[in-house]
Amino acid sequence: MEFEFSPEQDMLRKSFADFLAKECSHDMVKEWHKDKNGYSSAVWKKMAGLGWMELIIESIENKEGTSFFDAVILFEELGKALFPSPLFASAAMAGAIFLQGKKENHEEMDLSGIMTGKKVYTAALTNEKGDFDHHHPGVCAVSGENGEYRLNGTRLFVPYADSAHYLLVAADVKNGGPTLFKIKTDTAGFTAAPMETLYPERKCVVKLEDVTVDSSSIVGEIGRGDRYVEAAAGPVTVLKCSEMLGGMNFIVDTAVQYAKERHQFGKPLGVLQAIQHYCADMATLYEGARMTIYLAASLINDGLSSEKEVSMAKAWISDGYKKCTWLSHQIHGAIGFTDEYPVHLYYRHAKENELMLGDARRHRQKLIEQMGI
């Protein structure tokens, strides 16, 4: 297989890379991780001005004049820079779920707030065991006499919940089934507290205690929330894979460059056969990941069935990215473990994202089921 980008897409990649090189150094990333919001509001506004949120949603929607690969390219560059922001949670995940509700119900949904960056959304789909439970949500919704709903439950690993404007949550409506609700984060009974995780990008524990919303907060139809999440999972997972691919690309390139430049006993590390094997293994893992991700993306772009290919991509990148960071640590030696050097950030990024949207084991199991083995 050979995937070639158009000259316009090459220019698009360069514009993303140039912006991130200027606005997102590794030192800035570390500072933003400590910020109360977990990201730079100033850079967020610049991204919105460049139309990045709009590009993501229109790419997922497959709007005329756009390509799903436009969003794939963007998330690759974001992964290379380890850029922390709610872009994935808001524009990719929440945006894709809204688009599915709109598509199935022919319902007009106002996405302008997400597309302009003025409203930040996040999705709370992970239960207290760390599992996605949109088919059987651990959050319960009880309807009242006046058409309102009271929501109760706890969600874990919710990105940027303490700085987002809205939360999307799947709740079990009695006699109705899994239903998606859109909740304002300043609603009484909503609390979000930061979690300490392996990778320091913002994650929160969200508690809903008698959070009361009206029927206008329901996304799509009652009892179909799990279908919207499942339908959005394909493109959303591929965009997460693309982010991981960008980080993997950075790790491979910097490790190879270090092997060329670092001299030991008067010779570059790269002349050692063991180091050459490490580099070859990393290149093989990267190329395998790139081809599987681009294959899945091309099927999504063409509107074709892609479930097997999405699972192949997530399984490969989940293992491959983590292995590449291990090998990079071996090549760099002690300096690779220091806080001043960025390798440890990519290791932690690889480990955390390995578990997001299903780890390699889960996707291999899905692949087995899809193949009828």
CB atoms within 10 A of CB 1: 7
Q: Are strands 139-143 and 166-173 parallel, antiparallel or unpaired?
A: parallel
| Residue-wise DSSP of 84-126 | -STHIIIIIIIHHHHHHHHHHHT-----HHHHHTSS-EEEE-B
| Percentage with pLDDT > 70 across the chain | 98
Mean pLDDT of 241-246: 98
Which of these ranges, 31-35, 281-285, 290-294, has the smallest mean pLDDT? 31-35
Q: Which pLDDT value is given to residue 72?
A: 97
Measure the CA dihedral 213/216/221/225, to 10°.
Answer: -50
pLDDT tens per residue, range 193-204: 999 888 999 999
In sequence order, which residues have a C-beta less than 8 Å from that of residue 245 and are 6 or more positions away?
76, 79, 286, 289, 290, 293, 317, 321
Amino acid at 242: S
Contacts of residues 302-308 at CB distance under 8 Å and 24 or more positions apart, as own/partner, are: 303/62, 306/234, 306/238, 307/234, 307/366, 307/370, 308/367, 308/370, 308/371
The model carries a pTM of: 0.94
Which of these ranges, 85-94, 127-136, 175-184, has the smallest mean pLDDT? 127-136
Domains of the chain in start order, with CATH, are: 7-116 (1.10.540), 121-224 (2.40.110.10), 227-371 (1.20.140.10)
Residue 215 reports pLDDT greater than 50: yes
pLDDT tens per residue, range 73-110: 999 999 999 999 999 999 999 999 999 877 666 455 67
Mean pLDDT of 40-50: 95
Read off the tokens for 56: 């993501």
Read off the tokens for 54: 């709009």
Q: Which pLDDT value is given to residue 109?
A: 65
- Residue 133 in contact with residue 125, Cβ under 8 Å? yes
Choose between 55 and 270: higher pLDDT: 55
Q: Which pLDDT value is given to residue 286?
A: 97
Q: Which pLDDT value is given to residue 106?
A: 47
Q: Which pLDDT value is given to residue 104?
A: 64
Cα-trace Rg, the chain: 21
Q: Which pLDDT value is given to residue 47?
A: 96
In sequence order, which residues have a C-beta less than 8 Å from that of residue 286 and are 6 or more positions away?
245, 248, 249, 252, 320, 324
